[in-house]
Structure 1
Amino acid sequence: MAVDIGSVGLWTPSWDWNPDSSEHREAIAELDTLGYGALWLGAAGGDLALVSGLLDASERIVVATGIVNIWTHDAAELAAVHDRLSTAHLDRLLIGVGTSHAPAVEAAGHSYSKPYSKLVSFLDELDAAEPALLPESRVLAALGPRTLALAGERARGAHPYLTTPEHTANAREILGAGPLLAPEQKVVLAANADRARSVAREGVAPYLTLPNYLNNLRRLGFTDADFAEGGSDRLIDAVVAWGDLETVVSRIREHHEAGADHVSLQVLTGEAGLPREQWRRLSGALA
């Protein structure tokens, strides 16, 4: 049976969490009460050690890997750990895998060659593992048409990152009616435009050096001028929902109306630490 992740979740970088921290154990336990369906972890390790700690500290919420890098982690190991954790925490684990980006892959000593073929081979290895990590237990970090189509064929669906409701509509058309579509959406809860866009640019700028994201944004009509200096106002307003709670909820609704089954919210604050206050406020607005 496919894991139920609900219609809205949260997205955080893996490095934001320390499961040995009492504050962080309290934070993940609180998420059980706030109504979010899933917590997505960016750049998750293939040993799923962090995932395990977060599952142990909570009782209800699903923990999903936004992406496990297929170049730097072993498929058989991932399948084995998934089997152990999914047995211990029934219906609370979803594995996202993806090709990552050339700079990160090459920095780890690998050649970023034929990423699509590498992804297909990794899925073959997950299928062949004993026990297998089956398609209904995995999603693909997918942006472009070919990988989105693969997500519908070889996984439960797709988890696009740094996208817009327009991309969601395009992705749904490619996936068809059945597969899961769970885009990430960045959020800044600030009504002042200058402050909100400043925080948004800080969160978006690192991605504007990565070809996979730039190519996807170009398909959506953005140009090199939009990528300069941390992103144009036009780009920032498109990929980050900033403003009051009503504005953010409206953007979530746009994704759902465009075909998303689930929207994972990445709250940007410009400050260190988990944005627990903002999670509570969003939860109240969504309720």
Structure 2
Amino acid sequence: MLGTFGVWGSRYLWADRVDEVAELEALGYGTFWLGSSPESDLGLVERLLDATKSITVATGIVNVWQTEPEDVAASFHRIGSDRLVLGVGVGHKQIDQAYEKPYDKLVSYLDRLDVPAERVLLAALGPKVLKLAADRTAGAHPYLVPVEHTAAARAVLGGKILAPEVTVVVEEDPQAARAIAREQLSYYFSLTNYTSNWQRWGFSEEEVAGLGSDRLIDALVAHGSPEQVAAKLRAHLDAGADHVAVQSLNGRYAELAAALGLVRTGQ
């Protein structure tokens, strides 16, 4: 359904780049993840499906505070594509004002979401929501996590799908790569659901403060040559991931596809 490697992209950056998703499909990526809370009409998702032939299009993620499950389900059935997967999640406390009792909100949203469970993935960081993903959906789509999280998530999910997003920078100068990572990921360091999760994996309060320690950046962001990045992406597969959603902060997806050994289509 997802393939081994996909591409994750914010809807704000990719809304006018639909044709480029067809190029990613041709490079051999199996899924395009449309991030940053796609709207409930799934209009951009539909455009992406219309512009491609075989790649899966997944939401990464539909925000349960910003959409109604009935509206999302109606959009899902209107589109009617077997290449559509719904990623669902709760967003962030500091952004979503209605954010309270997120677990209960997820449960009630899933209760009202008339979409087959095998076509739904849940954004999940902590063990409780990972267990909910295992019990109620096809699996989990964690975001901005170290490889140790992938190994632990596999243990919770059992045989369900594990499809983490992994941020990358194709840049061999470590200082330059970290600078790119910090510039583009800076606001995540103010979001307690992420900082708390990183501390769960052994990073101190000081390391997750500000723009993060080098050790934290290196754990969260795969950087180096295309071959070095590819090795770090495969580490998530070795830790138990079924699929890795690659978010490159400086593009170069063709070089990554070659390093990952993806098979070009249409040739």
Counterpart amino acid of 1:11? W
Partner of 2:119: 137
Across the aligned residues of Structure 1 and Structure 2, the Cα RMSD in angstroms comes to 1.1
Which one has a larger percent helix, Structure 1 or Structure 2?
Answer: 1
Residue aligning to 1:26: 19
The reply to whether residue 35 of structure 1 matches residue 22 of structure 2 is no
Distance 1:25 1:72, change over 3 A: closer
Distance 1:219 1:82 in 2: 35
Code of the aligned partner of 1:101: H
CA distance in 1, matches of 2:34, 2:136: 21
Counterpart code for 1:286: L
Cα deviation, residue 80, structure 1: 1.0
Q: Equivalent residue for 1:16? A: 13
**Matched AA of 2:122:** L
Are 1:283 and 2:260 counterparts?
no
Q: Distance in 1 between matches of 2:28 and 2:223?
A: 22
Match of 1:98 in 2: 89
**Could you tell me whether the CA contact under 8 Å between 2:169 and 2:177 is conserved in 1?**
yes
After the TM superposition, which segments of 4 or more aligned residues of structure 1 sit over 2 Å from their partners?
A: none
* Partner residue, 1:224: 205
Query: What CA distance in whole angstroms lies between the structure 2 residues aligned with 1:28 and 1:145?
Result: 33
CA deviation after TM superposition for structure 1 residue 284, in Å = 1.1
Taking the aligned partners of 2:202 and 2:38, their CA distance within structure 1 comes to 31
Q: Cα deviations across residues 176-226 of structure 1 (Å, max 9, x unaligned)?
A: 1x1000001010000011111100111222111101111110110111211
Structure 1 counterpart SS, 2:207: helix
1:189-228 matched pairs, under 5 angstroms: 189-228=170-209
1:162 paired to 2:144: yes
Secondary structure of the residue that 2:209 maps to in structure 1? helix
Question: In structure 2, what is the Cα distance between the partners aligned to 1:78 and 1:143?
Answer: 23
Take 1:250 and 1:41, find their aligned partners in 2: how far apart are those partners?
Answer: 24
Give the alignment's TM-score, normalised by structure 1: 0.88
- 3-state SS of paired residue (1:230): coil
Superposed displacement of residue 120, structure 1: 0.2
Give the partner amino acid of 1:79.
Answer: A
| Alignment match, 1:129 | none
Q: Hey, what's the Cα distance between the residues in 2 that align with 1:255 and 1:200?
A: 19
Query: Whole-Å Cα distance in 2 between the matches of residues 121 and 228 of structure 1?
Result: 33
Q: Distance in 1 between matches of 2:130 and 2:192?
A: 17
> Offset of 1:26 from its aligned partner?
2.5
SS in 2 for 1:224: coil
Native 8 Å contact 1:67 1:97 kept in 2: yes
Of the candidates 247, 261, 267, which is equivalent to residue 266 of structure 1?
Answer: 247
Partner of 2:264: none
1:113 aligned residue (92, 95, 100)? 100
Q: Whole-Å Cα distance in 2 between the matches of residues 174 and 183 of structure 1?
A: 14
Aligned residue-pair number: 260
Specify the SS of the correspondent of 1:241: strand
Cα pair 1:204 1:231 within 8 Å, conserved: no
Contact 1:172 1:181 in 2 (8 A): yes
**Change beyond 3 A, Cα 1:231–1:252:** same
SS of the aligned residue for 2:95 comes to: helix
Cα contact 2:189–2:210 (8 A) shared by 1 = no
| 2:3 corresponds to | 6
